Amino acid sequence: MKRIIAIALLIALLVGGGAFWFFYNSAIKANVDTGDSKERYFYVYSDWDYDDVRIALIDEKLIIDISSFELIANRKNYAARVRPGRYLIKDGMSNIALIDLLRSGVQIPVNLTFNNVRDLPDLAGKLARNIEPDSLEMLEALMASETIAHYGFEQHTFVAMFIPNTYEVHWNYSTDKLIARMAEEYKTFWNGTRRARAAELKMDPVEITTLASIVKAETNMTEERERIAGVYMNRLRIGMPLQADPTLLFALGDRSITRVLNEHKEIDSPYNTYKYKGLPPGPINMPESTYIDAVLNYEEHKYLYFCANEDLSGRSNFSRSYAQHLVYARRYQQALNKRGIYK
């Protein structure tokens, strides 16, 4: 009897030890293969459950032995702790290391960069390139009247809340969370110093941004931003129409126009700054911070006019008198004619 008991205990130990070793080996052995690279990003979508994650790992050929992964996943109850995100998976990771990472929700942020943005649809497309929500979902959130009102803007001014830059965000940010983040960045940018300067100019942040958007549309020459801003500030001060071609093109909604003609100036729109004095209702694009600061720190001078240089280099000729401006304008028009640019 003692011998039978001893044999039974030995068998139990062997079976238990074997089971323990199998489990231990399944937990710690290398089971992640990232292919040619040492690491890869793995995306877990917000509506995914455990089966979706498991299938994605198989489809992307990241798991060597799926059975051992499933064993450890069940043991650690991963199905109850699936967290969306963008995870950095390293080659040779063990099952337990991989599952602990996916359970933790600790993900690698993405750099969300946007610039040269025309309008909200354009912004939605650029934001959606690096985050989970698609462009349609993003656009619906950006155009929602309740969202715009919540942040104190109107449909034609909401674009001013977004300051082009590079932001570090989580890939699975919801549209609401991302917009809230941009609102915080807007508040940070419009600090006490900038708001005080805007107040000195008797303008608010949206008005400054609106003028900055015109300056952005007028030039890509860094050295001319403050000077062009100064021209428009001079016009505003004396009650002269801004007569800004970019606002006219915005009103026309035709980006193919390369030469503004007198017939274009007849359009009846609040963005037609040839017809209506003062600033247009809102920004005509999304200016970078450098253009906003160029308006806040505009160059003080007596220029009232500027015209593109006839060499078509992007530089401008500035003048105080309309007579001199006409000289520069004729040179520019002749340069366009010479190159066959008539519209």
Tell me what pLDDT residue 19 has. Answer: 43
Distance (Å, whole) CA 103 – CA 44: 11
**Domain range list for the chain:** 2-104, 110-189, 203-301
Distance (Å, whole) CA 188 – CA 8: 72
Q: What is the mean pLDDT of residues 122-127?
A: 94
Tell me what pLDDT residue 137 has. Answer: 96
Residue 11: which pLDDT band, with cuts at 50, 70 and 90? low
Distance (Å, whole) CA 119 – CA 161: 12
Distance (Å, whole) CA 331 – CA 308: 9
Of the listed ranges 41-50, 149-158, 173-182, 334-343, the one predicted with least confidence: 334-343
Whether 107 contacts 148, CB under 8 Å: no
Give tens-digit pLDDT for 184-217: 999 999 999 999 999 999 999 999 999 999 999 9
Sign of torsion, CA 330 334 335 341? positive
Tell me what pLDDT residue 22 has. Answer: 43
Tell me what pLDDT residue 332 has. Answer: 87
State the number of CA atoms in the 13 A half-sphere of 132 facing the CB: 21
Bridge partner residues of 125 (DSSP)? none
Tell me what pLDDT residue 49 has. Answer: 96
Question: Strand 110-114 vs strand 165-169: parallel, antiparallel, or unpaired?
Answer: antiparallel
Q: What is the mean pLDDT of residues 169-190?
A: 96
Could you tell me the pTM of the whole model?
A: 0.86
Give tens-digit pLDDT for 41-50: 999 999 999 9
Coil, helix or strand at residue 44 = strand
Of the listed ranges 17-21, 224-228, 276-280, the one predicted with least confidence: 17-21
**pLDDT at residue 178 above 90?**
yes
**pLDDT at residue 18 above 60?**
no
Of the listed ranges 3-17, 167-181, 263-277, the one predicted with least confidence: 3-17
**pLDDT at residue 124 above 80?**
yes
**pLDDT at residue 312 above 50?**
yes
Residue 23: which pLDDT band, with cuts at 50, 70 and 90? very low
**pLDDT at residue 269 above 60?**
yes
**pLDDT at residue 284 above 70?**
yes
**Average pLDDT of the chain?**
90
2-104: CATH, from 3.40.50.620, 3.60.9.10, 3.40.50.300, 3.30.1490.480: 3.30.1490.480
Q: What is the mean pLDDT of residues 44-61?
A: 95
Whether 282 contacts 157, CB under 8 Å: yes
**pLDDT at residue 28 above 80?**
no
Largest CA distance in the chain: 121
Instruction: Say what percent of the chain tops pLDDT 70.
Output: 91
Helix (H) or strand (E) holding 245: helix 245-252
Of the listed ranges 46-50, 121-125, 334-338, the one predicted with least confidence: 334-338
Of the listed ranges 101-115, 128-142, 258-272, 281-295, the one predicted with least confidence: 258-272
